Amino acid sequence: MSVDYVKLGIRVRIRRENLRMSQAEVASAAGISIQHVSNIENAKTKVSLERIVDIANVLGCSVDELLCDSMVKSKVIYINEVAGLIETFTDMEMRALPEFLRSYKHFGRILEKPIQQEDAK
């Protein structure tokens, strides 16, 4: 599986914005240019592993969190992401969530075969 640079860039940007950091702050702390941070966030460059590690350290997260969209086994990352989202739910949303997840799982199984067939092409 190859690195999904678009999703990597999105995760870097979201993490940076959640920390209320500017591109300039990330660039300075990671030892790279502001333009390079922008290019990473907009998937206009293929960032090296060393830079991904530097950026993860600056953003206070693991490399796995930034690359989870490109990893086959990243369930724990998604569990943590969903847990963070759930913390913001209202009581009404929490009551609806189990049924929504059961439905989602059911439809996921129905769609799984066509998706797997498309990936095999």
> Looking at the predicted structure, is the pLDDT value of residue 114 above 70?
no
> Looking at the predicted structure, is the pLDDT value of residue 56 above 90?
yes
Exposed e or buried b per residue across 89-102, where buried means at least 16 C-beta atoms within 10 angstroms of its C-beta = eeeeeeeeeeeeee
The residues spanned by each domain of the chain are 5-71
For the 5-71 domain, the top CATH level (class) is: mainly alpha
- Grouping H, G, I as helix, E, B as strand and the rest as coil, residue 2 is coil
* pLDDT of res. 70: 65
* pLDDT of res. 118: 54
Window from 19-33, 34-48, 59-73 with minimum mean pLDDT: 59-73
Report residue 77's pLDDT band, with 50, 70 and 90 as the boundaries. confident
pTM equals: 0.62
* pLDDT of res. 104: 86
Higher pLDDT, 76 or 17: 17
Token digits for 116? 């797997």
What φ, ψ does residue 54 adopt, rounded to 5°? Answer: -60, -45
> Looking at the predicted structure, is the pLDDT value of residue 121 above 80?
no
Mean pLDDT of 75-84: 82
> Looking at the predicted structure, is the pLDDT value of residue 112 above 90?
no
